Chain A
Amino acid sequence: MYYQITSAALQGMDVRLVQVQTDIADGLPIFDMVGLPGSEVREARERVRTALRNSGIRLPSKRITVNLSPADLRKEGTAFDLAIAASVLGGIQAIPPHTNDCIILGELGLDGAVLPVRGCISVARMARDAGFGRLILPMKNAQECRLVTDLPCIGLRNVSELITYLRKGTEPEEEPDVSEAEVREEPDFSDLCGLEVAKRAAEIAAAGRHHLLITGPPGAGKTMLARCIPGILPGLSEEEKKVQMELKSLCGESSRNPERPFRHPDPGITPGGLLGGGKGIRPGELALAHQGILYLDELPSYSSQVLTLLRGPMEEGRVTLTRSGSIYEFPADFQLVASMNPCPCGYYPDRQRCQCTPEQILRYRKKADGAFMDRVDLCLTMQPMDFEDISGRRGSGAPSSVIRERVRAAWEIQKERYREEEFHFNSRLPHTKIPEYCKLGPKEEELMERYFTRFGLSGRGYHKVLKTARTIADLDGEERIRVRHLKEAVCYRTEDDIPEGRGQA
């Protein structure tokens, strides 16, 4: 008897349909799996056989062949277990023929339990788009999928429930969703005393989603400041939350009410960890930071190989991987926040503590310099915290909620301004569009000319100042960029800072 069940294979974020075909024939009893099964899929044979037996189904002594079609697509992972079981059940006529409008996924335990798999949200998305009628999957995954789609999701706990459902159509009893929404404990801006300049830079960075570099000695508060930034970003929209849940699901994690990600990868991270890949092509740190913040603490401690890899995604807003001729894409529209010391000992330009030579300083800074620094618009230099800051005697300023409102207002302005465009934030303005959106009046142009000469700005540096000024003007509620916006923007420029270079004549 021939029976076919539809399942799905993950390719990065894309999903491809896999037909699980079973044929039962006379001959020596054998259970054969074909169709380029990977090692886990080959092991499915044992799991399926045992799970079925423990659910009361004995396989006949016949020749059972299972093919996973298309046969030239490599199949990985354990998600096919349930579909294989269903297909075999169909082949031995333990379940009636069915309409092929459902997709089945799930891993099996030897006791017949149906266990959660990764990537079900991507499958649900594809199933909906392709017009499938329902999804049969593990209970925990079904709970998750119901949050992102209105596609009927049948959640199963074990093989017996599968058989009951497929024979009689009775859906198993609903289990209450006891997963808790993740709650991130974020420091509030008002937890930091003083630091007005740093907070202002963070606000500008958040408002225009500009990439930000924070320089300062150890203990200046760089990491504390970076951790506060997610708190001033507006919340995710429903659509954006679905993307976050999908990305999390691809990693095998479930997320009930996702917030903007704050990813802080370890300095030892490998290119694979950053970009993604590995078995099953999982998303890497960059994709997991999509719509949120990627924080790199102590930039020179990351390998230069890894830092070079940032450039492409920062420019494209996505990660593209090529594996065996196939291309996999993940969204990776993140905001980079990086911190570093001004010199190897960390205390430059305080010559009381810093004995670093200019060559040492330049060499140290060169390590963090790379093509990706071209995309960093803002540079903030912090000083060591003084007693007034630490003791809390200096005022604490506005709480994050107040700043978030200002950032949200700026985001609204940009959304409106760029509604016809492919980009949505000032930081992402391509240089061809800068004259259009960052028009300058004569006084402003004169000032920029002075800055161009005075600071030796490159073309890119010049544009960065304009983009920053555009965001400052938006925060100020001003349609036109004014002189005062430029004066502030130029203080955050990222042009080469040569320690003890030759001064002007």
Chain B
Amino acid sequence: MTHREYWFWLCSITGIGSVSLRALLERYGTPEALWELSAEEVNGLSQLNDAQKRAFQESREEYAVRKRFDRMTMAGIEFVTLEEENYPKRILQLYDPPGGLFYKGQLPPDSLRSTAIVGARNCSPYGREVSRAFAKALAAAGIGIVSGLARGVDGYAHEGALSAGGRTYGVLGCGVDICYPRQNLELYLEMQANGGVLSEQPPGIQPIPRHFPMRNRLIAALSDAILIVEAREKSGSLITVDQGLELGREIFAVPGRINDSLSQGCNELIRHGATIARSPADLLSYPTGQDFGETEEKALKLPLDSSEKLVYACLDLVPKNIQGIVNQVQLLPPVVMELLDSLELKGLIREVSRGYYIKTGL
């Protein structure tokens, strides 16, 4: 077997994670040495528990390992070990970096400035618009967007980055050959051409709850800054933020309405010192020693007449039902509908779901 195949074997043993791996390598040096261990020596290992020892023994079948490695290569999945040059250096800052990473597409280059965007899976239309808009603006300024391909904020962040023709990377909680969640299949495919999807889980491993906090540490590690868009008080995204703080990453949080439970987590973070993100400019102009230039402000260049202004003024990023608009502007429904059409034509508003409208942009 080749050296990489030995690494591949070691990284693919079910139940043996990065911490155990690191302990084993510290003691024995190379994957080859571990492969050569006799059965009694394996049983005597203090770094592994019984289940892990069993898995270790069972996995040492050369033919099976090489076959799986070949199949992986044929499927277009790449593998990089932490010894190798192109292993993302940022991840090495972790206490427990994965021994190997599996990926499709590209790995985020060390030279690319990246921002992680995380947030609620069940985000509101406000969260959706914000994720997309921030990702788009940052990507347009040449920043790589890192997230988890999950439903909600993650997906919209990837989407926003792709729409600006930028690069975006998704860290998965399952094998890179599995697209989870299924509804993000299009994104999963598009990202491989404009960035990549990566995972510490070997191909074929299903997404299970235990994997997600593990992958969150990788998201935190791969980024230079973390933006959190919407999060409830006890949200999983806050774990990513904790990891980021440990690594010394800058934390940005998008504020929300004070009575909106979906923004409690974000508002709490801001209170405790996270930088407030009111627009992409807040991230771009942050003094990190690099000036990425101003993003264009979406100026209201198109003139609106007084009735259009009236309708536009009662909309914001929270969806509003057409009856709600009628109640506020006190005009007849057909008149309001005409005004909404005119505003939509000018790109200022959008119907997010039947009968509900929001302001577009920020």
Which residues on A are within 8 Å of B, measured CB to CB?
194-198, 200, 215, 342, 348-349, 351-352, 355, 357-359, 379-383, 386, 388, 394, 450, 472, 484, 487-488, 490-491, 497, 499-500, 502-503, 505
Contacts and interface: CB of A to CB of B under 8 A. Distances in A.
Given A351-B122, A388-B327, A488-B334, 13 more contacts: A196-B333, A197-B323, A197-B326, A342-B353, A348-B353, A357-B122, A379-B354, A450-B345, A487-B337, A490-B341, A491-B322, A491-B355, A503-B132
Contact of B323 (A194, A349, A487, A502): A194
What 9 pairs between A and B have smallest CB-CB spacing?
Answer: A381-B355, A351-B124, A383-B321, A497-B354, A200-B333, A197-B323, A488-B334, A487-B341, A197-B333
9 contacts: A196-B333, A351-B123, A351-B127, A352-B124, A383-B324, A386-B327, A487-B337, A491-B340, A502-B159
A28 B159 CA distance: 95
Nearest to B261: A352
Contacts of B341: 487, 490
Contacts of A200: 332-334
A223 to B, nearest CB: 17
Nearest to B334: A488
B337 A194 contact: no
A434 B84 CA distance: 69
Nearest to B126: A351
Contacts of B122: 351, 355, 357
Contacts of B68: none
A344 to B, nearest CB: 14
B309 to A, nearest CB: 18
Contacts of A342: 353
Contacts, number: 88
Nearest to B124: A351
A394 B327 contact: yes
Interface in B88-136: 122-125, 127-128, 132
B323 A497 contact: no
Contacts of A352: 124, 260-262
Contacts of B340: 491
A503 B356 contact: no
A348 B353 CA distance: 9
A380 B322 CA distance: 10
A381 B163 contact: no
User: A351, A352, A472, A497: which has the most chain B beta carbons within 10 Å?
Assistant: A351
Contacts of B352: 349
A9 B236 CA distance: 73
B350 interface: yes
A386 B328 CA distance: 12
Contact of A500 (B128, B186, B345): B128
Contact of A349 (B125, B322, B338): B125
B322 A197 contact: yes
A383 B186 CA distance: 33
Interface string B333-351: 1100110110001000010
A195 B326 CA distance: 9
Contacts of B278: none
Interface string B123-151: 11101100010000000000000000001
Contacts of A355: 122
User: B183, B261, B341, B354: which has the most chain A beta carbons within 10 Å?
Assistant: B354
Nearest to A353: B261
B15 interface: no
B125 A196 contact: no
Contacts of B322: 197, 381, 491
A299 to B, nearest CB: 15
B245 to A, nearest CB: 27
Contact of B334 (A381, A382, A484): A484
B213 interface: no
A464 to B, nearest CB: 14
Contacts of B186: 502
B207 interface: no
A354 to B, nearest CB: 8
User: A215, A342, A383: which has the most chain B beta carbons within 10 Å?
Assistant: A383
A379 to B, nearest CB: 6
B277 to A, nearest CB: 20
A350 B185 CA distance: 26
